Copies of this chain bind each other. A is one copy, B any other.
């Protein structure tokens, strides 16, 4: 190891390296599962609403091309989350349904929480879409607690949002 400027030369404080690397690793892991969660959540919504989930609709809602969806669905099928019959719609397996339900609940809590903070519904919707995948169980509990403690704004929002489907 080459000698270098000692930290005592600076009054700057740095987060512990081991802790920081853990944060980055966790975040990279979350990033990898984000897409999967988005898909199953969207498929569940479409199934509830239209009683079927077609590739074209998924593609249109995600804003990507249909072959992109086809490729991802293959992956989800090999992971046992969806069941696809050629030229038929997509269906969720039990495991897929469980993941979808978990993701949807978390998504709605995050979105309701942001609304309860006074953030506009549009911004809350956009930000929740990105934030939801990085919210740990502990943070989700804190959000829920906050919502319960502010019924004047949050309570109704949760009720309205959680009961959306």
Binding site for B on A (CB under 8 A): 4-5, 7, 9-10, 12-15, 17, 19-28, 30-31, 34, 38, 45-46, 48-52, 54, 60-63, 114, 117-120, 122-127, 129-131, 133-136, 138-139, 142-143, 145-146, 164-165
Contact A139 B119 (CB under 8 A): yes
What copy number does this chain have within its complex? 2
Contact B134 A120 (CB under 8 A): no
CB neighbours of A164 from chain B (8 A): 12-13
Contact B119 A142 (CB under 8 A): yes
CB neighbours of A136 from chain B (8 A): 123, 126-127
Contact A19 B122 (CB under 8 A): yes
With A21-B61, A21-B62 as contacts: A142 and B118 at CB distance below 8 Å = yes
28 A–B contact pairs at CB < 8 A?
Answer: A5-B52, A10-B48, A10-B49, A12-B49, A12-B164, A12-B165, A15-B125, A19-B122, A19-B125, A20-B61, A22-B63, A23-B126, A24-B38, A26-B126, A26-B129, A31-B31, A117-B143, A117-B146, A118-B145, A119-B139, A120-B138, A123-B138, A123-B139, A126-B136, A127-B134, A127-B139, A130-B134, A131-B135
